[in-house]
Structure 1
Amino acid sequence: MKEITRRNFIATASLATGFALAVQPVTAKVITTDSQGLVAGAVKIPVADGEIPAYRAQPARGENFPIVLVIQEIFGVHEHIQDITRRFAKLGYLAIAPELFVRQGDVSKLSNIDEIRPIVAKVPDAQVLSDLDATVAWAAKSAQGNAQRVGITGFCWGGRITWLYAAHNPQVKAGVAWYGRLVGNATELQPTHPVDIAAKLKVPVLGLYGGKDTGITLDTVEQMRDRLKSSSSKSQIIVYPDAPHAFYADYRPSYREKEAKDGWNRLQAWFKQHGL
């Protein structure tokens, strides 16, 4: 892979306004969290080869907030992901969602998922992990965040990244991975997958999966569970038997209110249990 330099990468993209085109029409069950009492909006994160846009939300008053990295689905940092950061901010966290595909393309403007997949496939894991390191550094330096209290959560594509970043950065206190892919073939851009790092994982990660997920089969979930038995992390996986993929995505038909609320409650308890 050719190294990206500051000269040939300038992040000109901005965050999505509203929902990504590919997720239209948006369902009536969409949850909207206001920004009252918060500082919320777009920021720029300095990274190794330029800067990337991100959406940040945190309480308007206070400092030394625990940091939560919110990792996007394949649709980018659109309104749903931005809303999730505000949900965290209402709980007292500094939540930040960096736009991790910006070098490869603006997926929010694409209306067809088949156009999005090739862009996402070009995103190197090493780039993502480096950008997340930079995001933590920015949150601590520029936004009153506590770098000693970092959590991570991600959805779909971001669920896979949650497992990988927990292995990459052992300083993370805890992670929650929502229906992230667990197995795959090793490639130059994606050399490892969650099952490959499970046994050596030190950070406690809670995995939330759907029993009716046609893309992430239960045999791969059980494979991950088995690998985690060798880990010192005390990570856990919960499977909701009747839930499909993306059951937390309240703006999509896949949303399942009961399982989504239970997962959100489990996330909060998991973070508190591990010092966040």
Structure 2
Amino acid sequence: MPEHIHELKRNNVDLIMINGGDGTVSACLTAIAAIYPEDNLPAIAILPAGNTNLIASDVGFGLRGPAAVEYVMAGKALKSSERSPIRLSWHDGSQPSVLGMFGGCTGYARAIRIAHEPTVIRFAPHDLAVIYTFLTSVISLFFARSRNSWMEGNYLKREVSPPCKGGNRDGNSFLFIATALEQLSRGIWPFWSDKGHDEGFHFLDVAAFPKNLPKVLGSILRGRVPNWLRQHEDYKSDRAIRITLETDSDFVLDGEVFPAKDDRRIFLEKGPSFRFLHV
């Protein structure tokens, strides 16, 4: 991929169309940001064609395949949206940083491992895999042994910048997720922020053995965040420019699993701003 991106840059290409799912988009944005100067990044058009298309549900082009290419070549007017991907990097510097739009660890990493099982991928592609993963996770909570394992979560120490209410924590986490998107598919939106925090990416951290979990799930699946949830000690959400995490959990970014390191420290930070085109 870097060779192809270098060729596009040499030819002064200022619009790159990406045909694929979230993992493909993540890989392309990472390569583009490494090769193009940050102040002269090409515009991006995303044509959804993968197992998961969360990114396309927010900033997708709106057309697929030849129809999308023909629309662009016809020179028709296009709308645009700005998004800054999350940059994931490691304290030990063992591998290059990567860009992505949706990621998480603790319970989210465990759920993704279920979604990546061969049976799920083969028989439940696309959104069905997400639904299957969700149902499997919920059902496991009805059985004492698996419920305790899920609810206990993983160790997670979190330091948020700029500082925010409830931003830092040190203890077990049932679920940690973060996104640079502004909407998800099917109206689900499990994030909120304090007034004045309008820059950076969104995050949600749910403490181990969270109270009122069924009620909370009912709210966020409908895209609602009541005031009592905003004030609940077990559920912390806001926006951040940078988060330092220390955890024994794998981290998943746009479907790619990055195993936990011995060092256990990773960084999430606001990445370069891309302009996404859509009809």
Q: Report the TM-score, using the length of structure 1 for normalisation.
A: 0.27
The structure having more radius of gyration, on CA atoms, is 2
Point out which structure has higher relative CO (alpha carbons under 8 A, 6+ apart): 2
Q: Report the TM-score, using the length of structure 2 for normalisation.
A: 0.27
